[in-house]
Amino acid sequence: MTAEASQKINLPRVIFVTGKGGTGKSTVAAALALALARHGPVTLIDLDRRRSAIKAVSAIPDAARRVDHSVEMLALTAQGELEAFIERIVPLKMIARRMLQSRTFGFVTTALPGLEAFLILERIRILANEAAADRVIVVDAPATGGALELLKVPAGVQRLAPIGTLHRLAAEVEQFIQAAARFGVLLTTRAEELALREAIDASAALSALGVGCIAAVLNECETALFAEEDLAKLTGLDGHLRLAQARRHAADSAVQARRQLHHAGLHLLTLPMLYCPALTAAEFEVLANNLDEGLFAR
């Protein structure tokens, strides 16, 4: 994505994708990476232990991605970032390894809950600072609860370490996630009451943390295929009528979900329901097209 295009659609350098489990968070992160790669280089960072977003993009052959720029993929783990941090601050690897294996160091990490999570955010900040001006970073983050806890960590580390290097780094990370041009959250949800409530509550929690919410992605939206007069014609065909009514109800639920999210002040992107046993390149193309259009229309 060019700097001009990025400014027009108000996308930050880092897009942190989270949402209630089962709302398609990893699928949205993967499709978003592919959509943005049409406009500039993208780094897809996966914090999910299952590496769902990375696996989704990796399974699509390069020829089928229809992207113009590279999609780099990186998996981060809390333990891996802790080890990398110690090796950065301790010049001799042998000593660094002994520190990591020592019982005393284990007490330190226990006394500083959230240290490992904080170091993941610090790594993302470093990657964003080192990336070229036109590179966007998409993060497949933990589900909503875990993601909010992760974003609270910098403030917590500053309280636990009131002075010193760790305090300074935590302050820099907090400033990073609160800078709208550098960091923002994309919430995924579905037209279900629990998922909608979690997305709306998460938006309020992000605001309290000073972290920007880019938009909510309403996933698996149904369209109404049957009008009332169509349903009336199915009287007596009970099986067909139930299916038609279920489809109509799902479409009505999507309309109500849009209203709730708009009422909550959230910018809204929608993705269609895709009826297929597994997502292939063709389905990701549909999702990427919708995200591309929605983001650039903004």
pLDDT value of residue 78:
76
Q: What are phi and psi of 217, to 5 degrees?
A: -100, 110
How many CB atoms neighbour CB 182 within 10 A? 17
- Structure tokens, 289: 């097209």
For residue 26, what are the contacts with CB-CB under 8 A and spacing of at least 6? 46, 48, 50, 52, 53, 56, 140
pLDDT value of residue 1:
41
DSSP result, 214-252: EEEEEEEE------HHHHHHTTT-HHHHHHHHHHHHHHH
Maximum CA extent, the chain: 80
Q: How far, in Å, CA of 213 to CA of 31, rounded? A: 19
Amino acid occupying residue 262: H
pLDDT value of residue 157:
84
Parts of the chain with a pLDDT under 70 = 1-9, 82-83, 85-114, 224-248, 297-298
For residue 177, what are the contacts with CB-CB under 8 A and spacing of at least 6? 121, 151, 154, 183, 209, 211
pLDDT digits (tens, 9 = 90+) for 118-143: 889 999 999 999 999 999 999 999 99
pTM confidence score: 0.84
Q: How far, in Å, CA of 162 to CA of 168, rounded? A: 9
Q: How far, in Å, CA of 286 to CA of 150, rounded? A: 31
Q: How far, in Å, CA of 112 to CA of 75, rounded? A: 24
Domains of the chain: 3-297 (3.40.50.300)
For residue 219, what are the contacts with CB-CB under 8 A and spacing of at least 6? 23, 24, 27, 28, 188, 189, 190, 271
